[in-house]
């Protein structure tokens, strides 16, 4: 059965939002849906998430729960894809695989959930199957579906170009594509350069990260993240690992760190990790070892959860920046 053209689809502003929002938003819109995105994370959203999720869940997943809770009474469908793999021969954290089930079990009164599976581990072509299954919810017309997907892919490419070529961060690039921000940021020429490593859903969510990017910029720091690098730059560096890293985000963080180190691009690195995250503890350790073995660049690890206080983060950041400034001045 085809749904009517005004169906509202909710996209929670969390987790993979920071990687794929332009693709999803454009696809749903061109399929005839109206997309409602939850607002930026705030205390009320975090509180709703903490209330619904199990205690031991990592902070970004709790925040995602909060975004779902915010959307659930406002939309006809809510988009919580079952993500197993987003790259060929690689996987992502198993929490993404169970996300739709965990949310159904913990949040009552949900609208219909679009929980289509994406598993590109065996073949990149599986993303077309993913797109088709979603498209069939809206239309049985293959031309409408194909056209909507083509536009969505182009939008995603434009988004990724803004990240890599214009060095915009995700929210800046999304606002630019939506014509809410027509300003291409001028490259700053600050004295300190820092690589900020970690999951996009941690470092770009200003509530989770306590606006770390703005705090660094306000203190005169050029901030670089792995998402602003060319895919080949990351892949070439990740290929130097003795064993293939089959976690997409881990490979990106380690490949990014290695790129920044081998190109002498940064004065220091900050790794933002989620408390209780298995992948982060392993990736963090690998980045530390790699940094100590190949350079004398200082690295700060910030492990965050919902109890992390902003004052503590600011104190550690300022001490780190003071130390870097002294090193640079020597």
Of the ranges 216-224, 254-262, 276-284, 310-318, which one interacts with ligand SF4 (CB under 6 A)? Answer: 276-284
The residue (of 167 and 252) whose beta carbon lies closer to ligand SF4 is: 252
Taking alpha carbons only, the member of 73, 42, 90, 326 closest to residue 210 is: 42
Q: Kindly provide the b/e burial profile for residues 95-122, where b requires at least 16 CB atoms within 10 angstroms of the residue's own CB.
A: bbbebbebbeebbeebbebbebebbbbe
The reply to whether 277 sits near ligand SF4 by the rule CB under 6 A is yes
Of the ranges 56-64, 79-87, 134-142, 214-222, which one interacts with ligand SF4 (CB under 6 A)? Answer: 56-64
The reply to whether 52 sits near ligand SF4 by the rule CB under 6 A is no
Among 155, 199, 252, 271, binds ligand SF4 (CB under 6 A): 199
How many chain residues interact with ligand SF4 (CB under 6 A)?
10
Helix (H, G, I), strand (E, B) or coil at 161: helix
The residue (of 57 and 222) whose beta carbon lies closer to ligand SF4 is: 57
The answer for residues whose C-beta is within 8 angstroms of residue 277's C-beta and 6 or more apart is 58, 93
Of the ranges 53-61, 67-75, 146-154, 285-293, which one interacts with ligand SF4 (CB under 6 A)? Answer: 53-61
Among 67, 72, 82, 95, binds ligand SF4 (CB under 6 A): 95
Among 23, 31, 53, 61, binds ligand SF4 (CB under 6 A): 61
Minimum CB separation from ligand SF4 for residue 59, in Å? 7
CA pair distance 284, 278, nearest whole angstrom: 10
CA pair distance 290, 174, nearest whole angstrom: 33
The answer for residues whose C-beta is within 8 angstroms of residue 78's C-beta and 6 or more apart is 9, 10, 12, 68, 71, 72, 110, 111, 112, 113, 114
The reply to whether 49 sits near ligand SF4 by the rule CB under 6 A is no
CA pair distance 200, 3, nearest whole angstrom: 33
CA pair distance 157, 266, nearest whole angstrom: 27
The residue (of 97 and 194) whose beta carbon lies closer to ligand SF4 is: 97
The reply to whether 82 sits near ligand SF4 by the rule CB under 6 A is no
Residue 112 parent element (H or E)? strand 112-114
The contact set with ligand SF4 (CB under 6 A) reads 58, 60-61, 93, 95, 199, 274, 277, 279-280
């Amino acid at each position: 059965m085809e749904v009517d053209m005004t169906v509202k689809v909710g996209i929670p502003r969390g987790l993979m939002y920071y990687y794929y929002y332009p693709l999803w938003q454009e696809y749903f819109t061109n399929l005839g849906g109206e997309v409602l995105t939850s607002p930026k994370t705030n205390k009320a959203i975090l509180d709703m998430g903490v209330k619904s999720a199990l205690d031991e869940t990592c902070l970004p997943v709790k925040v995602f729960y909060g975004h779902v809770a915010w959307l659930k009474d406002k939309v006809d469908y809510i988009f919580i894809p079952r993500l197993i793999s987003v790259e060929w021969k690689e996987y992502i954290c198993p929490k993404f695989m169970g996300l739709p089930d965990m949310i159904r079990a913990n949040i009552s009164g949900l609208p219909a959930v679009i929980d289509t599976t994406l598993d590109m581990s065996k073949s990149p072509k599986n993303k077309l199957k993913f797109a088709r299954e979603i498209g069939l919810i809206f239309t049985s017309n293959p031309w409408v579906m194909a056209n909507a997907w083509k536009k969505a892919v182009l939008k995603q490419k434009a988004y990724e170009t803004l990240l890599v070529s214009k060095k915009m961060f995700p929210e800046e690039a999304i606002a630019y594509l939506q014509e809410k921000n027509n300003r291409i940021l001028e490259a700053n020429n600050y004295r300190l350069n820092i690589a900020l490593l970690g999951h996009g859903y941690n470092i770009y969510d200003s509530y989770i990260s306590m606006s770390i990017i703005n705090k660094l910029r306000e203190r005169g720091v050029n901030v670089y993240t792995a998402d602003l690098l060319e895919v080949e730059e990351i892949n070439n560096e990740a290929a130097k690992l003795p064993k293939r890293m089959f976690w997409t985000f881990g490979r990106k963080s380690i490949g990014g760190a290695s790129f920044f180190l081998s190109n002498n691009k940064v004065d220091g690195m900050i790794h933002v990790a989620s408390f209780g995250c298995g992948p982060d503890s392993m990736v963090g350790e690998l980045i530390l070892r790699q940094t100590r073995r190949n350079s004398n660049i200082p690295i700060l690890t910030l492990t965050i959860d919902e109890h992390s206080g902003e004052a503590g983060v600011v104190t550690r950041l300022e001490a780190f920046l003071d130390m870097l400034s002294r090193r640079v001045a020597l």
